[in-house]
Chain A
Amino acid sequence: MSLTARFQGTLGRFALDVAFEAPGRGVTALFGPSGCGKTSVLRCVAGLQRLGGRMALDGDVWQDERHFRPTHKRPIGYVFQEASLFPHLSVRSNLLFGHRRTVGRGVPESIRLDDVVDLLGLARLLDRSPEHLSGGERQRVGVGRALLSQPRLLLMDEPLAALDRFSKEEILPYLERLHGVLPVPVLYVSHDIAEVERLADHLVLLREGRVVAAGPMQDLQADPSLPIARMPEAGVTLPAVVEGHEEAYGLTALRLEGGRLLVPGNLGAVGAGRRVRIAASDISLARQPSTGSTILNSLPARIVAAERQDEVQMMAVVALGAEGQGARLLARVTRKSWDALGLAAGQDVFAQVKGVALVQDGLQAEG
C-alpha cells in the first residue's frame, strides 16, 4: 500500500524532476521553500496539471507513458489553500457534493457525514452559506468535503497558509485528530516546518523542482547535512509511550527508543502514544552523568555525527542508549565547548535534555 510518483517537465522558471514514494498510511509532507514546485507536484498527483511521468497508488496506475486518468476519475480528496467552497450551495450541500457522486454511485461508505461533522465540529454550520463563514470554518468544511468523497488519498495544499494565526491554531487540533483516525494516506504540502512537525510522519524535501531527501520524519530531522538542520528551530520529533507516573512530583515518564524522559504533567495512561519534539537548542552534552545538577533528564548517548554550522555553532547528532542504538537527537553546542570537552564522533556522552514539547496538542513542557 503506497504511492509512487515520478514527474518531469518544465514549470515556467525551472525544470521539475521529482520521484518519491509515500507510505500507505500516515501523513507525508512535501516540504520546501515557496516556489520549489511542491504545489505543482500535488496538482500532478491530482491530475489537475499534466507533466510527463508515472504515478500509481497501491499498484493502480493513474498516469504513465500512455494513460492519463482525468481528475474526476481519481479517488482523491483535495484541500485547496483557500477552501474554494461552492458559494451557491449551503455548507451541507458542499459537504455532500463529492459524497453524492461516490457513495451515491455505489462506492462503499467508509467516511460518513455524521462522523465528519463531529470530527470537524461542523454541526452549527450545516445550513449556513459558505460566504458567512470565517476562514477557519471554511477550511474545516473544505477538509470535510474532501473526506466525504471517500478518497483513497487525501491531498492538502497548504491548507493553513491563507489563515491568520488565530484560525490556524483553531484548525490544527482538528487536523491532528484526523491524523489518528483517518484510514487514508495524506500528502501534505507546506513550507512551515512547525506545521509539518506537528502533522507529518514522512517527509519529502523539495528544492527548485528536485527531491533533496525523503524518508521518515525523524531520520531527516536528524541529518545535519540537510537544510532543516540549519534552521534556528531545528530539532527532532519522536514517538514516545507513557511508561509510568511519578505522582508525588507530578511527572510522567516517557519511553523513547533507547531512553526514558521525565516530563511535567500527567500525559495520559500507561501505554498511550505521544509525539514529542526536542529542539537542538534544548540539548547540551556532558562527558559525565549530571550529578549535582537540577537537570532531570540526562541520557546516555553516543555521538554519531557532527557538523560545523558556522563560526560559533556545532550541530551534533547523538543516538540514545549506551551503545548508540536508539533514537537520534540533534544537539546544537558551541564550538568552544566542543573543543574544550574534546568531543568527537563515536564518543559516549550524556545528552542533557532541557525541554521537551508535546507536539500532538502543542503543550510545552519544561524539564
Chain B
Amino acid sequence: MNWQPIVLTLQLATLTTAILLVVGTPLAWWLARSRAWWKEAVATVVALPLVLPPTVLGFYLLTLLGPDGPGGWVASLWGARSLAFTFEGLVIGSVLYSMPFVVQPIRNAFEAFGDRPLEAAATLRASPLDMFFTVAVPLARRGFLTGAVLGFAHTMGEFGVVLMIGGNIPGKTKVLSVAIYDHVETLQWAEAHWLAGGMLVFSFTVILAMMTLEKRIGQARR
C-alpha cells in the first residue's frame, strides 16, 4: 500500500483550508457587511468555481502559473521556472477552487445575526477588531465549522484542476484522486478499491461528524 498520495492529499487539504480560513474570513466579512454596489460582482467571481468545469479553471490557472504567467515570475524569485506542476501551484489552485465552499457559509453566518449584536458591542466600548473576535466570530462559529469541513473535504476530492495544473508527479502533485485514476488506468483494481473505499468512508464520516457537531453547537446556544 502506497501511503504517499494520502499523506500528500491530507497536507494539501489542511494547508488549503488554513489559507482559506485566513483569506476567506475577511472576504466573507466584507461581502456580508459592505454596501459597495460592486460587491456582488466579487461574490460572483468567488462563486465561479461552483459552475465552471474544473478543466476550464485548470486551463486558466495553468497559463497563469506557467513560465510565461505571473506564477512564473514569482517562481523565478527562488530560481524555479514555473509554479505549474508544483505542490505550491496545487495549493494556489485548491484555494481558488474551494473558496466558495468556505466563503459562502461564513458570509451567511455573518449576515444571519444582523447589526444589533455588533452595535451592542460598540456601545460597550468594544473596538471594531475586539468586536470582530469576541462577538462576530463566536456568533458565526457554525458557519466557520461548515466552511472548514466543506473546504477540506472538497479539496480532498479535487481531480480536474489537479490534473491540469499539477499533473501526476509522485510525492509532489500525485494526490489521491489522481492516484485512483492511475490505478484504474493500469487495471490495478484492488488498489483503486482501497483508495476509493477509503474516500467513501472518509467523506461519510466527515459529513456525519459535521452534522452532529453543528447540532450540538446549536443546542449549546439554546
Residues of A within 8 A of B (CB): 46-48, 70-74, 76-78, 80, 82, 84-88, 97-98, 101-102, 129, 131, 145-146, 149, 155
Contact = CB atoms under 8 A, between A and B. Distances in A.
Given A74-B123, A84-B119, A88-B221, 16 more contacts: A47-B122, A70-B122, A71-B123, A72-B121, A72-B125, A72-B127, A78-B119, A84-B117, A86-B120, A86-B139, A88-B141, A98-B123, A98-B124, A146-B123, A146-B124, A149-B124
Contact of B122 (A71, A85, A131): A71
B126 interface: yes
Given A101-B130, A131-B221, A131-B222, A86 B117 contact: yes
A78 B122 CA distance: 10
A102 B117 contact: no
B80 to A, nearest CB: 46
Contacts of B15: none
Interface of B: 116-117, 119-128, 130-131, 135, 138-139, 141, 221-222
A48 B122 contact: yes
Contacts of B116: 80, 82, 84
A98 B120 CA distance: 10
Given A71-B119, A78-B120, A131-B222, A87 B139 contact: yes
A46 B123 contact: yes
In the A-B complex, the 8 residue pairs with the closest CB atoms: A98-B124, A78-B123, A71-B122, A101-B125, A88-B138, A84-B120, A72-B122, A84-B116
6 contacts: A82-B116, A85-B120, A88-B138, A101-B125, A145-B124, A146-B123
A101 B124 contact: yes
Contacts of B131: 72
Contacts of A84: 116-117, 119-120
Nearest to A83: B120
A90 B32 CA distance: 27
B131 to A, nearest CB: 8
Interface SS, B side: helix
A71 B221 CA distance: 28
A87 B222 CA distance: 8
A77 B123 contact: yes
A59 B139 CA distance: 38
Nearest to B139: A88
B128 to A, nearest CB: 8
B114 to A, nearest CB: 10
B159 to A, nearest CB: 39
Given A88-B139, A131-B222, A48 B119 contact: yes
A154 to B, nearest CB: 11
A72 B135 CA distance: 14
Contacts of A46: 123
Contact of A97 (B121, B127, B138, B222): B121
A268 B222 CA distance: 46
A93 to B, nearest CB: 10
Contacts of B130: 72, 101
Determine which residue in A47, A88, A97, A101 has the highest number of CB atoms from chain B within 10 A of its CB, and name it.
A88
A49 to B, nearest CB: 10
B194 to A, nearest CB: 43
B3 to A, nearest CB: 40
Contacts of B222: 129, 131
Contact of B123 (A48, A87, A88): A48
Contacts of A86: 117, 120-121, 135, 139
Nearest to B115: A48
Contacts of B127: 72
B158 to A, nearest CB: 34
A76 B123 CA distance: 7
A86 to B, nearest CB: 6
A284 B124 CA distance: 50
A72 B124 CA distance: 7
Contacts of A145: 124
B91 to A, nearest CB: 33
Contacts of B221: 87-88, 129, 131
B33 to A, nearest CB: 15
B120 A149 contact: no
Contact of B120 (A70, A74, A80, A101): A80
Nearest to A47: B122
Nearest to A93: B134
Nearest to B141: A88
Contacts of B126: 72, 97, 101
Contacts of B123: 46, 48, 71-72, 74, 76-78, 98, 146, 149, 155
